């Protein structure tokens, strides 16, 4: 087999959402910080195109690049590549990365608990992994500081009318809508409609509301739309179903760790959650993340929380992505049947 490029990947998913991890074949990108390296990958596009575009990728795939950490406290660092963006942080991807690091032996596993620090583009995240029989069975991540942005503001969506929405940051930026008001129960049969409408709502929110992170002006847009079901009281706190629409038009199979963090920040600002309480979020396929508010903090002049998210990850395979020197599509391709206009 001929190949002018070979990239080594361990594939994984966290509660249903794919989060592959590049473990070899790619040199660390240029940049003095992990954020700078993230920005290089986002602007250069060549690695993104190779692993995310067809025929090697697709709209369902997220890929993480392991790089040496820049922070002295970090054990490893990772850069997230999603279909349309390179976000500051991702809950499902951090769970996939942690699972791959431990289950593959890149970081030595200690049973029954392994603790480590990962460096994401958005900052340090502390990880506690419950481990048994050589498997990381549950990953708990202390996420970056999360905060509410706008609460109960009007948003005009063509063909729908005026919605009342919130916006928030949980390691990525969200517009949050009430699923019931749009007649969604958040079940699998609704996935296509949620995906399509979610992209329209996200586009409208960027045009009408906008977002700028108070400490990172480079992050100046809303990435996702979170459709949130009604809250239910449970002994440890609250629970709810939710679904996040991801550009170019898919639904997160997991409960979306950054959305769990953003929603807890909103609930804290509304008096619906307090420090120490838990939030059980159920995805469109029935998988769950458990969130918890660990502490209060601030981001710039914003009141914020330190959120914790917990879920499970599994390795699904080992791949070597190759490039035949005669392949006429070395950067892959996208078609509007799955990638949108």
Residues 6+ apart with CB under 8 A from 249: 59, 195, 196, 198, 199, 338, 339, 340
Contact 184, 281 (CB under 8 A): no
**DSSP states of 193-246 as a string?**
HHHHHHHHHHHHHHHHT---BTTBTT--S--EEEEE---EEETTEEEEEEEEEE
Region of 183 (left: φ > 0; alpha: ψ -120 to 50; beta: rest) is left
Contact 140, 127 (CB under 8 A): yes
Q: Catalytic residue at 90?
A: yes
Contact 268, 279 (CB under 8 A): no
The separation between the first and the last C-alpha atoms of the chain, rounded to the nearest angstrom, is 35
Q: Where are the alpha helices (DSSP H) in 253-303?
A: 257-269
Mark 263-297 as b/e (b = at least 16 C-beta within 10 Å).
bbbbbbbeeebeeebbbbbbbbbebbbbbbbeeee
The DSSP letter of residue 87 is: -
For residue 103, give the 3-state DSSP assignment.
helix
Q: Which of 90, 92, 240, 310 is catalytic?
A: 90
Q: Enumerate the active-site residues.
A: 90
């Amino acid at each position: 087999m001929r190949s002018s490029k070979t990239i080594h990947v361990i594939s994984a998913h966290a509660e249903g959402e794919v989060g592959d991890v590049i473990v070899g074949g790619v040199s660390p990108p240029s940049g003095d910080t992990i954020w700078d390296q993230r920005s290089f990958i986002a602007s250069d596009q060549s690695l993104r195109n190779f692993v995310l575009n067809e025929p090697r990728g697709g709209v369902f795939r997220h890929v993480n690049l392991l790089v040496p950490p820049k922070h002295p406290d970090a054990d490893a660092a990772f850069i997230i590549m999603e279909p349309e963006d390179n976000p500051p942080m991702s809950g499902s991807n951090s769970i996939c990365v942690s699972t791959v690091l431990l289950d593959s032996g890149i970081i030595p596993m200690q049973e029954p608990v392994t603790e480590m620090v990962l460096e994401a583009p958005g900052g340090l995240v502390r990880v506690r992994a419950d481990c048994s029989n050589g498997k990381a069975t549950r990953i708990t991540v202390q996420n970056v500081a999360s905060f509410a942005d706008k609460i109960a503001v009007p948003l005009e969506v063509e063909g729908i009318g005026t919605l009342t929405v919130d916006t928030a940051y949980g390691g990525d930026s969200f517009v949050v809508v009430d699923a019931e008001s749009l007649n969604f129960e958040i079940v699998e049969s609704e996935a296509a409609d949620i995906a399509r409408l979610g992209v329209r709502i996200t586009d409208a929110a960027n045009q009408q509301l906008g977002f700028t992170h108070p400490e990172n002006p480079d992050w100046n847009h809303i990435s996702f739309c979170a459709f949130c079901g009604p809250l239910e009281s449970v002994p440890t706190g609250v629970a709810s179903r939710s679904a996040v629409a991801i550009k170019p038009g898919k639904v997160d199979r997991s409960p979306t760790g950054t959305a769990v963090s953003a929603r807890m920040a909103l609930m804290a600002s509304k008096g619906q959650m307090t420090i120490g309480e838990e939030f059980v979020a159920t995805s469109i396929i029935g998988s769950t993340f458990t969130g918890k508010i660990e502490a209060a903090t601030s981001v710039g002049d914003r009141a914020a929380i330190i959120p914790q998210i917990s879920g499970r990850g599994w390795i699904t395979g080992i791949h070597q992505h190759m490039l035949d020197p005669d392949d006429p599509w070395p950067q892959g391709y996208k078609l509007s049947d799955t990638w949108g206009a």
